[in-house]
């Protein structure tokens, strides 16, 4: 079981208008059912959390590839990418 919450903007910074930034916060219960042992157990998320930057990199790559397919030009930034021609303002 999980719950997800879709947000369309980032948090406002220093009273400015928030940037468009679609993202989802997903909460997963730390519970799974073992069919073989017929009992509930705690989920094992340590490896997923350890490798979180890897999964985020895959997400950014897929997103940038799709944007390029749609005709956008992107530029690499320190942590991800930005769409060319979109001003900070």
The tally of CA atoms less than 13 A away on the side-chain side of residue 34 is 9
| pLDDT at residue 87 tops 80 | no
The pLDDT value given to residue 17: 86
Same domain, 8 and 28: yes
To the nearest 10°, the Cα dihedral for 85, 87, 88, 89? -160
pLDDT, residue 34, reads 92
Domain identity same for 61 and 38? no
Regarding whether 57 and 27 lie in a shared domain, the answer is no
Average pLDDT over residues 41-47: 89
Same domain (yes/no): 1, 36: yes
The two most distant CA atoms of the chain are separated, in Å, by 57
The tokens for 44 are: 């094992």
Co-location of 10 and 37 in the same domain: yes
Are 87 and 68 within one domain?
yes
pLDDT band (50, 70, 90) for residue 13: confident
- Number of other CB atoms surrounding residue 81 within 10 Å: 15
> 25 φ, ψ to 5°?
-95, 125
pTM above 0.75, yes or no: no
Average pLDDT of the segment spanning 34-49: 92
- The answer to whether residues 40 and 33 touch, using CB atoms and an 8 Å cutoff, is yes
Expressed as residue numbers, the domain containing 63 is: 53-89
Residues 73, 35: one domain? no
Question: Over 80: is that where the pLDDT of 1 sits?
Answer: no
């Amino acid at each position: 079981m999980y719950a997800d919450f879709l947000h369309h903007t980032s948090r406002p910074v220093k009273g400015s208008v928030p940037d468009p930034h679609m993202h989802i916060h997903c909460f997963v219960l730390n519970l799974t059912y073992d069919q073989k042992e017929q009992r509930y157990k705690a989920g094992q998320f340590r490896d997923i959390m350890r490798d979180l930057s890897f999964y985020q990199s895959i997400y950014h790559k897929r997103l940038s590839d799709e944007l390029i397919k749609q005709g956008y030009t992107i530029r690499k930034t320190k942590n991800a990418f930005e769409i060319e021609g979109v001003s900070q303002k």
